[in-house]
Every structure is written in C-alpha cells, then in structure tokens.
A = this chain, B = another copy of it.
Amino acid sequence: MQSYTEENYLKTIYHLAEQTTNVQTNAIAEQMQTKPASVTDMIKKLADKGLVDYIKYQGVTLTEIGRNTAIDIVRKHRLWEVFLVDKLNFKWDEVHDVAEELEHIKSVELIERLDEFLGFPKADPHGDPIPDKNGRFAKTQFIKLIELKVGDSGTITGVSQHSSAFLKHLEKLGLTLGKQIQVSDVTDFDGSVEILLSNKQINISREVAKHILISSNGKN
C-alpha cells in the first residue's frame, strides 16, 4: 500500500517517462512543485519498495510493479474526470483538480463499478485513453496540429495541455473534441495557423496549435 504522496510521485514519473526514458530528479521536482533534495529522499524510498530502479545520478525508471501502480492511478483519475463531466455536468476545464484528489481513493470495487456505470469509456474529457482494469489501453497515434501541412485535415482527439486557461480558450474558439479541421494557411510572420472549422476560417497561435492533438484523415 502506498501513501498519497508516493502515488503522486509514481504518477509523475510515469508521465515524465512518456517523453524521456531516464527520468531526472530535477524534472520530478519541478513537476511536483518541490525541491530536488525531497525528490532524492522519496526516490530512495520508492527504490527500497521495489517500485523504481534507481542508480545514483542516473535518474529513475519504473519497475513493472511501479508502472502498474501508476497506470492504476491514471485510470482512476481519468474515470473520475469522465464522471464529473458526463454525470455532474462539469466543464472539461474544471475537472482536473478534483480528480487529483479522487484518484487516491482506495477501493478496487468502487472503480470497477464506476467504470461500468460510465459505460466503460475509452477516453477521458481531454481525449486521453483510459486503461482497462488490467492496465491495458490502445496507444493512440496523435499528431500535433502544428505539424500538419497546409491542406491536411483531421479530427481533434486530444490536448496536451490541461490548464483551465487553455481549455477555456479552446472552448471559446469552438475547438472541442471530435471537431473536424483543415489547415488552410500558415503565417510566415508569427507561425500562427489558419484553419477551417465548420466552414469558418479561424486563426490560432503557434502555441495553441502545439497543444492540439489531431487524428489525421491522411493527406489531402
């Protein structure tokens, strides 16, 4: 059994490991809003418990047990987010913080029944995949909107930034999950992207385009 804090460390390491293989102490510290010295302490503890492999100065990797634990927390987080949006009518930008708390409730039965109650959803309100009870989930192939060429089209299926400010902005622009878009132009000056969205031309900044994930319809 892990503490609330240990669970958060495992989850953070799991997310960081999606980008880099060896997760660095400083990266964990930044993500967890704590100090590198505290991270070192916790890493040692997690290593003692067999949840991470750790070589001094070389960063950490999750063991299989550690990764399974992390995936279970991610599963809970995402299921609760679905619950909040689908059943309690929260907006997609309002659910993250509450899910950060709910994900630590320890009851296998609760999560299985919640999953069933929600109809075994495959993705959360931000398009992130929900692992099943065995920790399996499809590795989704997203491409960043910024990487599309003029003429390419696709469907918005995810976001790589979950801040309320960003999500609210997308909502205002009408850029919500499931929407079809086509890139009509890329501005030389500032790299901003012009897209066609339900017959309207809209312009989005490079920064925004970086965090919108598209499942491509293939080239035009």
Contacts and interface: CB of A to CB of B under 8 A. Distances in A.
Interface of A: 84, 87-90, 94, 97-98, 101-102, 105-107, 109-110, 113-114, 117
A112 B94 CA distance: 14
Nearest to A106: B101
Consensus secondary structure, chain A interface: helix
Contacts of A113: 88-90
A94 B102 CA distance: 19
A107 B114 contact: no
Contacts of A114: 88
Contacts of A107: 97-98, 101
Nearest to A84: B110
Q: Which 10 A-B pairs have the closest CB atoms?
A: A88-B113, A98-B107, A101-B105, A98-B110, A88-B117, A87-B117, A102-B105, A88-B114, A89-B113, A101-B106
A178 to B, nearest CB: 24
A1 to B, nearest CB: 13
Q: Which of the listed residues A109, A110, A117 has the most CB atoms from chain B within 10 Å of its own CB? A: A110
Contacts of A105: 98, 101-102
A134 to B, nearest CB: 21
A94 B112 CA distance: 14
Given A88-B113, A101-B106, 12 more contacts: A84-B110, A88-B117, A89-B113, A90-B109, A90-B113, A94-B109, A97-B107, A98-B105, A98-B109, A101-B105, A101-B107, A102-B105
